[in-house]
Amino acid sequence: MNADSRIIVALDVSSLESAIDLLDKLPDVSFWKVGLELFVSSGPEILAILKERQKRIFLDLKFHDIPNTVAGACRAAAKYNVDLLTIHSTCGKDALKAALVALEEGAAAVDKPSPKLIAITLLTSLNSRQLAFELKVPLELPEYALHMALLAKETGLAGAVCSPQEVEQLRMSCGDDFLLVCPGVRPKWADGGDQRRSMTPKAAINAGADYLVIGRPITASTDPVAAFARICEELG
């Protein structure tokens, strides 16, 4: 896999116009993430535009609800023909199973390939102290992230989203065929922002990540094209 195809650039903008502007500025990016802000503000039109431009799509809506609701959401999302879709592991096994079945049913109904459903283990904005004292989780953070990933794997999901700091352990425990997507990736020359468990792109790939989600170091740069090229060069 080429270095540039392992980078998912986050379209974390508030309007369709801003998103299209980024697409125009970065024609060499092949894989884009559409998250909550853009999807809620602008609807699914951006997904059609990405498809027209033959881009791969990570629809990062992080579903988190009861089994019936996440199943309905996944069934509806299947029609967009995206590549990756996210759900929180903390929904529990019943919801994860229901979501996976509904996603496959929804894709079959529109004669499209089923997106890969991947689980959120723990948001990369959270650290060990917050996990223990705010969320009252009585596990060490790496152990908790591993448990969430294994829950997803046991349920039949295609992979998980995790911090690059946990990816090496998850790779060893979940195997090579389990997709691991890492946000919280920051080049040394970029601002860390609100990420608490970050790592450089090269280190994250070496640790076992399949894909890296990178937003602001590229999209907020004064020269997004140069920033994307620099990260690709660093990945070799």
Q: What amino acid positions are annotated as catalytic residues? A: 62
Task: Yes or no: say if 143 and 149 are a contact pair by the CB < 8 Å rule.
Answer: no
Say if CB 13 and CB 22 are below 8 A apart. Answer: yes
Tokens of residue 163, six digits: 């911090």
Alpha-carbon span 179 to 208, nearest angstrom = 10
The answer to whether residues 163 and 149 touch, using CB atoms and an 8 Å cutoff, is no
Q: How many angstroms separate the CA atoms of 3 and 228, rounded?
A: 11
Where helices occur in the chain by DSSP H, the ranges are 16-25, 36-42, 45-52, 67-77, 93-109, 128-129, 141-155, 164-174, 201-207, 216-219, 224-235
